[in-house]
Amino acid sequence: MTYLVNGRTFEEEPAPGQCLRTFLRSLGHFGVKKGCDAGDCGACTVWLDGVPVHSCITPAFRAEGRAVTTIEGLGAPGDLHPVQRRFRDAPGFQCGFCTAGMIMTSATFTEAQKADLPRALKGNLCRCTGYRAIEDAVRGVAHVQTAAPGRAVGTNVGAPAAEDVVTGRAEFTMDTRMEGMLHLKVLHSPHAHARIVSVDKGAALAVPGVLRVYSWEDVPRRRFTTAIHTDHLVDPDDTYVLDDTVRFVGQRVVAVLAETPGAAEEGCRRVAVEYEVLPAVFDPEEAMADGAPRLHGSEDPFVRDSVHNLLLEIHSHIGDVEAGFAAADVVHEGTYSSPRVQHAHLETHGSIAWMEDGRLVVRTSSQSPSIAKVKLAYLFALRPDQLRVFCKRVGGGFGGKQEVITEDLAALAALDTGRPVAYEFTREEEFTTASPRHPMKLTVRLGAKADGTLTAFQVRNVSNTGAYGNHGGETLYAGGAAVMIYRCPNKKYDAYSVYTNTVPSGALRGYGMTQPAFAVESAMDELALALHMDPLELRRRNIVRPGDPLVAMHDGPDDVMFNEDGLGKCIDLVAGALARTAGRPAPGPGWLVGTGVASSLHETAPPTEHVSEAWVTLGDDLVYELAVGTVEFGEGTSTAHVQIAANQLGTTPSRIRLVQSDTDRTGFDTGAFASAGLFVAGNAVLRAANAVRDRIVEFAAAHTGVHVVMCTMEDDHVVCGDDRVPLAELVALAGARGIRFTAARKAYGSPRSVTSNTQGFRIAVHPVTGEIRILYSVQAADAGVLINPEQVRGQVDGGVTQGIGFALTEDYMVDASGAMANPNLRNYRIPTYADAPRTEVLFVGSADSVGAMHSKGMAECCINPVAPALANALRDATGVRFRELPLTPARIYSRLGESSPAAATGPRR
């Protein structure tokens, strides 16, 4: 069969039933991405005779004799198609995994389609950007700027990989072919709780192409935790690579290794497993009750209370809450529930492992190659020098890749066979086996005087950690930030992390604070209603201010710097914006209109130890090499690190060559999570760049005889008094003396500071359909000095949109057996372009005391106030309080007909 792809002819025969996506990738066109394999996300979009199609649902044979165009054929670096240029200059991407599909779709738009983007872009999903940047790209709105030497900070510099991203040349994890590569697939448990009695591998091994079938008897019997932190002791070692007991529907049972993915899948179908089904428990309150099924035995030293399935419990107090409630004029109590939420990053988890010169090499989609290396070395008894772990560009993370969940099996098979092994999650596996946000049920009790002064603040938090405890304890502690936000002399926090027979929970943007923020900020609005007080005024009277202790669980010393009233300024900015836009009309008659606000505080680094090392070296080509271990997956740290280095070295970003996320080529880095990629790694870059600058200046001063205080860097020169000494001359002189201009510096996540965010919404609600339409969205953020203003704005846009999905559309449905009932993007429903409002983003204009260049990370904290602000707006519109997420039309419709005390206040129109 003859195929014409990007003007080149291929004589190839696709496999029976093969889709066009996998066929094109087999030909080396890796710009065609896999996000769903169901026609839902659009990441695989290509042209057939100039018409965009989803190649994952297009049979390969249908392309025979037709012109196929992929993103690589649209344009190349230095010769971009106009639409590629617009996506570069907007910039219209963050992680970049969806970008090829977005460009291939939008490059065909007519003017009529551009005028109706909600319809025109309905087949393309983006999890990162919030779509505003994509809209700007489609409409040709450019934000990228060129930085002058030494003036990079504060400029909208483009991403270092921008041209590679928009042309499909940027390599993601699975974008490679290796000779002799094997493929690994996994058989998952159909039971929520069972003991494996036997595994019959015979029929599977008889499948042509199947080489190995691994069960729990074939893997190292070493406990570990899949969670990634520098201090592994904060997470329980309660997991095995493969186990003889399964504790949730979807748990790995058997791994099959074969020559092709199809053979591996058939091998999984042929494995015969005999199970002894055990009693299961899905609700954490029931799991804590006497007589509940026990998930982990008493021999497990990491379980707090195996009888009651408790991983961890926290009991802390400040003052006397009962005395505080007795002194209150008004007491409010309510219970609030937040569900599982999936990360839905468009690049699924995946790893490729192989042997190279006797060493194990793992190429993986991870937020921390350094700690992935540590865990693999432990599991397989390898010395650090026997192992290399690295990342290419990562297609979104949001905390979902703060785990080791594909690297171990790929490494096992590569070590066993000596051949390259690829292990890539399907979209269904992403939903059913990866770690979603912890479901939490929080009871909040607040007491206040008639003037709104809080007298008592009590929270009970029950967190469902699922079958294993990865991140279960740390997210429970993180919830204290929702208690920290308000001054009160009497506080009590009781929290429980509970094992159940459900998919293990994990890290997700907001990390343990998003759920408590929903509860506390909803409760504050209910308290304001009971006090007949404006919700914003109640917050103003009680928020912590500089000089106040940041107390949540204890009143001991900590390392958090709290020097400015960013939160108060955020509230004022949102209040002003809502007042300024108050006249926006409802969509039509019968709609109810309401306004809601919510706030949050977020610490700029995790309380556990976070470390990063950066290396800066001036090369003979006068380009500075910056090596830093932080991974780039859309949070923009690569751009920020380059800007910081260029700023301090008096040069331009084009003179910085970035090397990152490779344990052979960079120093140790805890990982890109908890906003530490800017706060910790950014400080390491700052210190390393300053050290190299100082060495160059000192060398130039000695060379010219001018005092060092009279010498400064200016792009490719050092100015020493009246002399301008070229860098080339200094490099040559230093080289002749065996001197290199290089330095390494480390930074740690202490001391820390806090970021502040306030979200406001004006919404319309239809009481018959239960539909919510967002009329206006605004978020004010205390982000410190903005290293790259457009990038920071993009993080807020993406965080708000992801928060809207958490609050309104994303419904993780679990059936009576404990299995997810809707494991696909079509039915899980992350926000589309049509669901995402254009949020007005306002910045306080502060300067952080400890952040790199006085900046604060903004990738994580911006999601926290979104759901409660929407819930508060819904209450304002309808008079009915909704305490359970998501706020789906069916849930809203079912409640609006009920008579309740809340409804008696009447809706606003």
- The pTM (predicted TM-score) of the whole model is 0.96
Residue pLDDT, tens place only, 512-536: 999 999 999 999 999 999 999 999 9
For residues 265 and 277, the answer to whether their CB atoms sit within 8 Å is no
pLDDT at 898: 64
pLDDT at 300 over 80: no
pLDDT at 901: 40
Residue pLDDT, tens place only, 443-479: 999 999 999 999 999 999 999 999 999 999 999 998 8
Average the pLDDT over 714-720 and give the result. Answer: 93
Residue pLDDT, tens place only, 145-166: 999 999 999 999 999 999 999 9
C-alpha 694/C-alpha 691 separation (Å) is: 5
pLDDT at 272 over 60: yes
pLDDT at 902 over 90: no
Residue pLDDT, tens place only, 185-213: 999 999 999 999 999 999 999 999 999 99
pLDDT at 230 over 90: no
CA quadruple 297, 299, 302, 306: dihedral sign: positive
Average the pLDDT over 34-38 and give the result. Answer: 96
For 845-898, the DSSP string reads: ----SSSGGGB---TTGGGTTHHHHHHHHHHHHHS----BS---HHHHHHHHTS
C-alpha 201/C-alpha 42 separation (Å) is: 38
Least confident of 492-506, 696-710, 892-906: 892-906
**Alpha helices, DSSP H, located in 107-227:** 111-114, 117-120, 132-139, 162-166, 202-205
C-alpha 758/C-alpha 274 separation (Å) is: 53
pLDDT at 908: 41
pLDDT at 907 over 50: no
Query: What's the burial of 51, exposed, middle or buried (CB within 10 Å: 0-12/13-18/19+)?
Result: exposed
Q: What is the rounded average pLDDT for all residues in the chain?
A: 95
pLDDT at 605: 85
Q: Which of 441, 446, 470 is nearest to 457 (CA)?
A: 446
Q: How far is CA 77 from CA 27, 134, 147, in A?
A: 21, 20, 20
pLDDT at 909 over 80: no
C-alpha 264/C-alpha 267 separation (Å) is: 5
Least confident of 467-476, 548-557, 655-664, 835-844: 548-557
Least confident of 152-161, 172-181, 579-588, 642-651: 579-588
Q: Which of 267, 239, 111 is nearest to 183 (CA)?
A: 267
pLDDT at 482: 85
777 versus 302: the higher-pLDDT residue is 777
| Number of C-beta neighbours around residue 286 at 10 A | 14
pLDDT at 108 over 70: yes
pLDDT at 52 over 60: yes
Least confident of 386-395, 584-593, 824-833: 584-593
pLDDT at 562: 82
Average the pLDDT over 701-710 and give the result. Answer: 96
The DSSP call for residue 353 is E
Average the pLDDT over 99-106 and give the result. Answer: 98
| Number of C-beta neighbours around residue 301 at 10 A | 9
Task: Kindly give, in sequence order, each residue whose CB lies less than 8 Å from that of residue 738, ignoring residues fewer than 6 positions away.
Answer: none
563 versus 593: the higher-pLDDT residue is 593
